[in-house]
Amino acid sequence: MTRFVFVTGGVVSSLGKGIASAALAALLQARGHKVRIRKLDPYLNVDPGTMSPYQHGEVFITDDGAETDLDLGHYERFTGEHARRSDNTTTGRIYSNVIARERRGDYLGATVQVIPHITDAIKEAVVSDTDGYDFVLVEIGGTVGDIESLPFLEAIRQLRNDLGHENTMCVHLTLLPYIPSAGELKTKPTQHSVKELQNVGLQPQILLCRSDRPIPQTERQKIASFCNVRPEAVIAALDVDTIYACPIAYHEQGMDREVLRYFGLPHDTAPDLSRWEKIVRGVREPKGEVRIGIVGKYTALLDSYKSLAEALLHGGIAQDVRVHMNWIDAETLEDPTQLENQLRGMDGILVPGGFGERGSEGKINAVRYARENRIPFLGICFGMQMAVIECARSLAGLKKASSTEFGPTEEPLVGLMTEWARGTELLRRREGGDLGGTMRVGAYPAKLVEGSRVAAIYGKTDIRERHRHRWEVNVHYREVLEKTSLRFSGMSPDGVLPEVVEYPDHPWFIGVQYHPELLSKPFDPHPLFSGFIGAAKKEHQTREDKA
C-alpha cells in the first residue's frame, strides 16, 4: 500500500519545502522504506526550460529528458533516486493536456471545467507511476492562499477522500517570525496560514515551523490548540549551517516518528543516520581548504547554479577540504586588466553552462588564464565550448573562431546540430523553431578514449551523462585543433558529437559538453568534481609551499 504525504507551504515563499520534503524522504529511507518525491508547480509554463534563471533558478534535468524544477535536484541528492518526467507537473502541462484531449473529442462533448477535468488530471499525475513505493511525498509549489494553487489543493482534498485519510496526510510548512521589540516568536501568521488551508478543506496533521530559535513549550501548545494538531506534531524547523544536517535535525524533533505514528507504522526504533552524520562531519570539520573561481553570467541569483554549488561541496567532502566559491561575473572579465585582479589566488577555475553571447568573451579570457597559468580548470557545457573557441583562436590561428549561437561566423567552431540520435530514435530541430523541448536534453552515452585523463577519473570508458544544450562543438574542426595540444578524449558512440576535451600536458584541464553536477550526491560525489577539487587541493598546497 502506497501512502501519500502532501507538503504545502504558507505565510511566505522560499521557506524550504523542497529541502523539508527531501529530508523527510531521507529519514523514511533510513528506516527501510522505499520513497519517491514529486513536485506540483502552479505556474502556467509547461516547464521551466524557457524561463530565465533569474526568474526560477536552475533547470534540473532528468535522465528521461525532462526540464524540471530545481527542487528535484534536492530530491535526488538526498535520496539517490533518479527523478523522472512524471515527478514534476505544472499548471501549464495540466491545461495543455486537458485542452489537447478536448480538441480530440475525448470528453464526448462535455463542458470542460476546472472541476472535474483539471482536478482529475492533477490527481492522475499524482498517483501515476507510483506502484512499489511505500511513500510518495508530493510537494505543492507556491504559498497557500495564492489563486494559482487552488486547483492543486482541491485535487489533494479529493485525493484524501479517494485514497482514504488513513493512507494520506498533510504536512504544512509555516514561518514563526521573531519580533525583537516584543522579544517573542509570533504564532499568528501560522494560525492564519492553517486557516487558509482549512478553508479549502485541508487539515494538516503536522506543522513544520521555520524559526531561527527553539520554540518554547507555551508557543508550541498554543499552535497545537489553535491549529487542531497534536503538540508533538508541531515540529521546529530550525536554521542549520548545512542543508545536509536537516535529516538529523528533523529526526531530533520527532518528525519521522510522527509521520509513522500517524500511519500506524512501527516508529520506536531509531533510523540509521550514520550516512548523514558522516556527511555533516565532512562539511563542518574539513582538514584543508581550496578557493574556486566560478565565472558565470547568472551570479546575481546563485540558485541558477544550485546543483553546481552542491557538486563542488560534494567534491570538497570527498577530498576533505572546505570549498570557498568565488562567484565572478563573466562580463567583468571582458576587460583583460580584471583577469589578474579577480582570478589571482584561485586554486581552480570553473566555467559553467549558460546561453547567449553576453559574458562569452569574459569566459574565453578566463579559459585562457587557466590554460596559460596552469590552474586546474573545469568547463561545463558552454564552458567547454568556450574552451574550444579559445584553443582555436590562441593556438590554432583561427582568429575569427566563434559560435553560430552568437550570429553568422566564418569559423563556426560551435554550431546548431539539426539532428541527433536518442537510442533508436532520430531527433530533429530547426533554427527558428520553438525553444521549449528542442534541445539535446537528458541522459546520453559517451565513449572515452582509453588512456585519457578523463577515462582515468571515471575508471571506465563507457559513461552516461545528462545534457541540456542546443549547440555542439563542430567535429569538423577536430583535426586542426588536435594539431595543437588539445585532445578530444570523449565522443558520442557514433563519433559525431564531441563530449570531452582535455589538455594532457596541463596539470588538470577538462571540458565536458554535459552537466556532471546533475548526478553528484553528497554520499556519492561525481568523479569529475572529486578530481577537480583534488587538483585544486594540490594547487593550493603547491602555492603554500612556494610561499
Could you tell me which residues are annotated as the binding site?
13-19, 54, 71, 139, 146-148, 186-191, 222, 240, 354, 382-385, 405, 470
**SS3 of residue 266 by DSSP:** coil
- Determine the Cα–Cα distance for residues 529 and 523; give it in Å rounded to an integer: 13
Question: Which residues define the annotated binding site for L-glutamine?
Answer: 54, 354, 382-385, 405, 470
Question: Which residues define the annotated binding site for UTP?
Answer: 13, 186-191, 222
DSSP code of 114?
Answer: I
Question: Which residues define the annotated binding site for CTP?
Answer: 13, 146-148, 186-191, 222
State the catalytic residue, choosing from 469, 515, 526, 540: 515
Hey, what's the cell of 154? Answer: 482541491
State the catalytic residue, choosing from 209, 246, 381, 391: 381
Q: Nearest to residue 151, comparing CAs of 42, 47, 45?
A: 42
- Determine the Cα–Cα distance for residues 338 and 336; give it in Å rounded to an integer: 5
**SS3 of residue 224 by DSSP:** helix
Question: Which residues define the annotated binding site for ATP?
Answer: 14-19, 71, 240
The beta strand positions in 33-146, using DSSP E, are 35-41, 60-61, 67-68, 88-90, 135-140
Q: Is 246 a catalytic residue?
A: no
State the catalytic residue, choosing from 361, 411, 465, 517: 517
Q: What angle do CA 283, 284, 288 make, to 5 degrees?
A: 80
CB 82 within 8 A of CB 55: no
Other Cβ atoms less than 10 A from the Cβ of 67: the count is 23
Question: Which residues define the annotated binding site for Mg(2+)?
Answer: 71, 139
Backbone angles phi, psi at 231, to 5 degrees: -55, -35
Hey, what's the cell of 462? Answer: 563507457
Hey, what's the cell of 279? Answer: 556527511
Handedness of CA 97, 102, 106, 112 (dihedral sign): positive
In whole angstroms, what separates CA 229 from the centre of its chain?
A: 33
Interstrand relation of 234-238 and 206-211 (parallel, antiparallel or unpaired): parallel
Amino acid, res. 225: S
- Determine the Cα–Cα distance for residues 191 and 134; give it in Å rounded to an integer: 31
Q: Is 33 a catalytic residue?
A: no
Amino acid, res. 83: A
CB 315 within 8 A of CB 525: yes
- Determine the Cα–Cα distance for residues 49 and 435; give it in Å rounded to an integer: 8
Q: Is 154 a catalytic residue?
A: no
CB 354 within 8 A of CB 346: no
Other Cβ atoms less than 10 A from the Cβ of 373: the count is 14
CB 205 within 8 A of CB 171: yes
Can the peptide bond before residue 116 be classed as cis, meaning omega within 30 degrees of 0? Answer: yes
What are the CA-CA distances from residue 491 to residues 65, 446, 512 (Å)?
Answer: 20, 6, 10
Hey, what's the cell of 199? Answer: 478553508
- Helix H segments across 400-473? 453-458
- Determine the Cα–Cα distance for residues 275 and 265; give it in Å rounded to an integer: 23
The beta strand positions in 108-233, using DSSP E, are 135-140, 168-175, 178-179, 184-185, 206-211
DSSP result, 325-392: EEEEEGGGGGSTHHHHHHHTT-SEEEE----SSTTHHHHHHHHHHHHHTT--EEEETHHHHHHHHHHH
The residues annotated as belonging to the active site are: 381, 515, 517
